[in-house]
């Protein structure tokens, strides 16, 4: 009996030790994945290099006059920051959404493209990014309601005859898709997403395998632990943050763009997102383009694709 009790005690201690290890590792990855800060695997350098195929666009953005817009988040009472670039009293505006641990200034080339096409451009910093407040990254799920509020702010400033498109790259692309599932103002006419993921859980599981080379075990339980911690601290489970489920609710036009050689957000994800969309939709898988490099890889064709799509609806 004593031997049996001892074995049970050892088993309980072992289980608790394993749980403690998973919790500790989960908390570490929460810092890496959900807490804002410098990430070694993300490049948010805005330094100008003349060999950059988008040098002229980025140079234009650095020099152009920008209005500073401030807004409170749709919840949590966070102060959010944005740049606004008007275009000759135009009623057409594109809201441009940046990627994971980037900021509004990293989207300067896209701002130049849209402004050249005759659109006002609004570039917000997402929660916990750039000059916006926040102690967590919502991966588009928490930010989607802020996008709706930014659209309402555009309408208030520019009038009820406003026409709005929402555009985003990477996490911004996912935010675009997630916001499309909301009941948006009628002035929101179209969406363009570039290299967004299917849902946050899928993306983090992919990165755990790609960056850290975790096998199925312990990858699966670790991501579940991380998801639980994220629910407690940031208000959402990782699988809740689903682009697929949100685009299925959307009836407005959406253009899906994805690099054919994207390994950070695997190209296969765009096919799942595209299939789920119920409104008018178009898909462009960009030859030779890596993650978030479709514009830089084919700048002329990229602008043509975007312009042709928006011209149908705005």
pLDDT for the residue 211 = 75
- Distance of alpha carbon 92 from alpha carbon 162, whole angstroms: 6
Please give the model's pTM, rounded to 2 decimal places. Answer: 0.91
In tens, the pLDDT along 185-223 reads: 999 999 999 999 999 999 999 988 887 776 665 667 888
228 with 255, same domain? Answer: no
- Classify residue 48: in a domain, yes or no: no
Q: What is the pLDDT of residue 47?
A: 78
pLDDT under 70: residue ranges of the chain: 1-26, 39-46, 214-219
Q: Which pLDDT does position 32 carry in this prediction?
A: 83
Pair 221, 271 in one domain: no
71 Cβ contact list (under 8 Å, min separation 6): 79, 80, 82, 146, 149, 150, 153
Q: What confidence score (pLDDT) does residue 307 get?
A: 98
**Confidence (pLDDT) at 217:** 58
Query: Do 15 and 57 sit in the same domain of this protein?
Result: no
Note whether residue 40 is domain-resident.
no
Q: Do 181 and 283 belong to one domain? A: yes
The pLDDT, as a whole number, for residue 40 is 61
Residue 46, domain member (yes or no)? no
CA-to-CA dists, residue 53 to 25, 56, 297, angstroms: 41, 8, 8
Position 72 in a domain: yes
Of 184, 215, 236, the last residue of a domain is: 236
Give 120's strand partners. 93
Q: Residue 40's closest CA among 31, 52, 32?
A: 32
Q: What is the pLDDT of residues 61-83, one digit of tens each?
A: 999 999 999 999 999 899 999 99
Q: Is residue 214 part of a domain?
A: yes
CATH of residue 72's domain is: 3.40.50.1820
Q: What is the mean pLDDT of the chain?
A: 90
């Amino acid at each position: 009996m004593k031997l049996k009790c001892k074995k049970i005690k050892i088993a309980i201690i072992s289980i608790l030790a394993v749980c403690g290890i998973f919790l500790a590792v989960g908390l570490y990855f929460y810092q890496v994945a959900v807490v804002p800060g410098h990430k070694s695997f993300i490049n948010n350098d805005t330094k100008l290099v003349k060999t950059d195929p988008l040098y002229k666009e980025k140079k234009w953005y650095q020099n152009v006059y920008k209005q500073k817009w401030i807004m409170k988040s749709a919840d949590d009472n966070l102060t959010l920051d944005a740049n606004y670039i008007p275009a000759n009293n135009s009623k057409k505006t594109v809201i441009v959404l940046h990627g994971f641990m980037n900021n509004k200034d990293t989207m300067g080339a896209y701002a130049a493209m849209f402004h050249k096409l005759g659109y006002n451009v609004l570039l917000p910093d997402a929660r916990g990014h750039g000059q916006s407040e926040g102690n967590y990254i919502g991966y588009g799920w928490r930010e989607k309601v802020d996008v709706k509020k930014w659209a309402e702010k555009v309408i208030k400033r520019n009038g009820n005859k406003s026409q709005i498109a929402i555009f985003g790259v990477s996490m911004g692309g996912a935010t675009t898709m997630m916001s499309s599932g909301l009941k948006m103002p009628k002035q929101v006419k179209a969406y363009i997403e570039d290299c967004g993921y299917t849902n946050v859980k899928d993306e983090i599981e992919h990165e755990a395998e790609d960056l850290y080379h975790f096998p199925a075990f312990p990858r699966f339980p670790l991501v579940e632990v991380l998801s639980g911690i994220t629910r407690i601290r940031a208000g959402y489970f990782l699988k809740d943050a689903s682009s697929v489920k949100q685009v299925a609710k959307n009836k407005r036009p959406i253009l899906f763009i994805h690099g054919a050689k994207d390994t950070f957000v695997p190209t296969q994800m765009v096919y799942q997102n595209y299939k789920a969309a119920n409104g008018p939709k178009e898909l462009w898988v960009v030859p030779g383009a890596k993650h978030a490099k479709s514009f830089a890889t084919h700048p002329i064709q990229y602008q043509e694709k975007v312009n042709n799509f928006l011209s149908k609806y705005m």
